[in-house]
Amino acid sequence: MRILVTGGAGFIGSNFVIRSLESKSNLSITVLDSLTYAGSVANLEGSLQFINFVRGDIRDEIIVDNLVSSADLVVHFAAESHNDNSLENPRIFFDTNVMGTLTVASACAKYNVRLHHISTDEVFGDLPLESTESFSSETPYKPSSPYSASKASSDHVVRSWIRSMDLVATISNCSNNYGPRQHWEKLIPHTIRNLHNGVPAKLYGDGLNVRDWIHVDDHIDGIWLAIERGVPGETYLFGSRDTQSNKSVVECILEKIGLRDAKLEFIRDRPGHDRKYAVDPVLAEKTLGWKPARGSILNELENLIPWYEKLLRD
Ligand SMILES: NC(=O)c1ccc[n+]([C@@H]2O[C@H](COP(=O)([O-])OP(=O)(O)OC[C@H]3O[C@@H](n4cnc5c(N)ncnc54)[C@H](O)[C@@H]3O)[C@@H](O)[C@H]2O)c1
């Protein structure tokens, strides 16, 4: 099978490439990535000799058309992904996430190539902290930030191409991923690096915002099940029901690093900061047979922290 992976030099995309090479046979992988500040070929170290890496932009119709025409499947990760940046510079989020997805979806429809589009639970907005509800694929879209609005728009692009342009595609919306190769700007690597440099760990607002944490490998296994067993046109939600506040995650890192009594720094909250995400993955569990293999993030951090500490030392 010839797969085109967009955004394969980023956090989830590179983990997808590496895990797929390890666990699947007869794959021919091409990565298309423009290497923004968030992407790095170093993330693909050890895999580069087994793949075809193309530096290029998903908004470039000629490159995308050419690569999609010789693929059997496109897995579309490429995006601007950092909420904070989307408040400072929203335009690039809509350019990349919406127009880039439109370019990819159009080429897939033109060559009748199956697309799997990667999206986020943030398209649903947030839940009150005290809520016991969770998002399902029936939950109306209510994005809060330019990032989530651009991802919501990209989902609508894919659905409209399915309905009107004969695109064969599935979509997945996943909760907060953690694992190796995440950019330093994101909460877990950022906290580990700060502590390594003797800087206090920082939290937005009261730090009580809750996220549904999922290991990146569980997300990747879900993506493969959606590709292999999913119904074209369907949307699958992935989340591990492991809802933890940012403060609990940061305190757990402090404890595991041996800095339990270190002071936290609470900084001015991000405008529009979503309070709580929680995902109901029952459709993926029942119809794809998906089940996260990892335990709670509060246990998994034990294995993850040394991975980032080694990177900081080397
Ligand atoms: N990280 C999460 O917790 C999470 C959760 C759910 C969904 N997602 C989605 O998963 C996907 C991947 O997220 P991530 O965390 O790995 O992001 P990331 O920022 O680590 O990686 C994004 C990659 O896309 C590339 N890219 C950006 N603009 C591009 C363009 N115009 N053309 C080609 N390549 C471009 C970057 O160079 C980078 O390698 C995104 O679509 C994101 O919305 C992420």
* Candidate list 57, 126, 147, 308, residue with the active-site label: 147
One domain, residues 163 and 257:
no
* CA nearest to 281, candidates 233, 242, 229: 242
One domain, residues 115 and 225:
yes
We report the CATH number of the domain holding residue 195 as: 3.90.25.10
In a domain, 303, yes or no: no
d(CA 105, CA 310): 39
Ligand 1 nearest-atom number relative to CA 14: 16
Q: Is the CB of 14 under 6 A from ligand 1?
A: no
The boundaries of the domain holding residue 48 are 2-180+213-241+277-294
One domain, residues 196 and 55:
no
Distance 220 CA to ligand 1 centre (A): 14
Q: Which of 81, 83, 181 most suits a substitution to test ligand 1, by most atoms within 8 Å of the C-beta?
A: 81
One domain, residues 115 and 201:
no
In a domain, 167, yes or no: yes
Share of the chain above pLDDT 90, in %: 98
Ligand 1 nearest-atom number relative to CA 37: 37
Handedness of CA 293, 297, 303, 307 (dihedral sign): positive
Active site residue 166: no
> How many domains does the structure of the chain reveal?
2
One domain, residues 90 and 237:
yes
One domain, residues 136 and 270:
no
In a domain, 76, yes or no: yes
Q: Is the CB of 58 under 6 A from ligand 1?
A: yes
One domain, residues 17 and 31:
yes
Q: Is the CB of 222 under 6 A from ligand 1?
A: no
In a domain, 301, yes or no: no
pLDDT of residue 261: 87
Which residue CA neighbors atom 22 of ligand 1 most closely? 10
One domain, residues 119 and 140:
yes
One domain, residues 131 and 195:
no
Quote the distance between the C-alpha of residue 85 and its chain's center. Answer: 16
In a domain, 29, yes or no: yes
Q: Which of 4, 6, 12, 213 most suits a substitution to test ligand 1, by most atoms within 8 Å of the C-beta?
A: 12
Distance 77 CA to ligand 1 centre (A): 5
Contact by Cβ (8 Å): 155, 79: no
In a domain, 80, yes or no: yes
Ligand 1 nearest-atom number relative to CA 9: 39
In a domain, 287, yes or no: yes
266-289: b (≥16 Cβ within 10 Å) or e: eeeeeeeebbbbbbbbebbeeebe
Ligand 1 nearest-atom number relative to CA 15: 16
Active site residue 121: yes
What is the pLDDT tens value at each position of the chain, 314 positions in all?
999 999 999 999 999 999 999 999 999 999 999 999 999 999 999 999 999 999 999 999 999 999 999 999 999 999 999 999 999 999 999 999 999 999 999 999 999 999 999 999 999 999 999 999 999 999 999 999 999 999 999 999 999 999 999 999 999 999 999 999 999 999 999 999 999 999 999 999 999 999 999 999 999 999 999 999 999 999 999 999 999 999 999 999 999 999 988 989 999 999 999 999 999 999 999 999 999 999 999 999 999 999 999 999 98
Distance 234 CA to ligand 1 centre (A): 22
One domain, residues 76 and 90:
yes
How buried is 261 (Cβ within 10 angstroms: 0-12 exposed, 13-18 middle, 19+ buried)? exposed
One domain, residues 142 and 223:
yes
Phi (first) and psi of residue 288, to 5 degrees: -105, -15
Q: Is the CB of 59 under 6 A from ligand 1?
A: yes
**Is the model's pTM score more than 0.75?**
yes
d(CA 57, CA 36): 10
Contact by Cβ (8 Å): 188, 250: no
Across the chain, what does the average pLDDT equal? 97
One domain, residues 106 and 121:
yes
Active site residue 122: yes
In a domain, 13, yes or no: yes
We report the CATH number of the domain holding residue 118 as: 3.40.50.720
Which SS3 state, helix, strand or coil, does residue 26 take?
coil
Q: Is the CB of 77 under 6 A from ligand 1?
A: yes
Which residue CA neighbors atom 9 of ligand 1 most closely? 119
* CA nearest to 217, candidates 16, 14, 55: 16
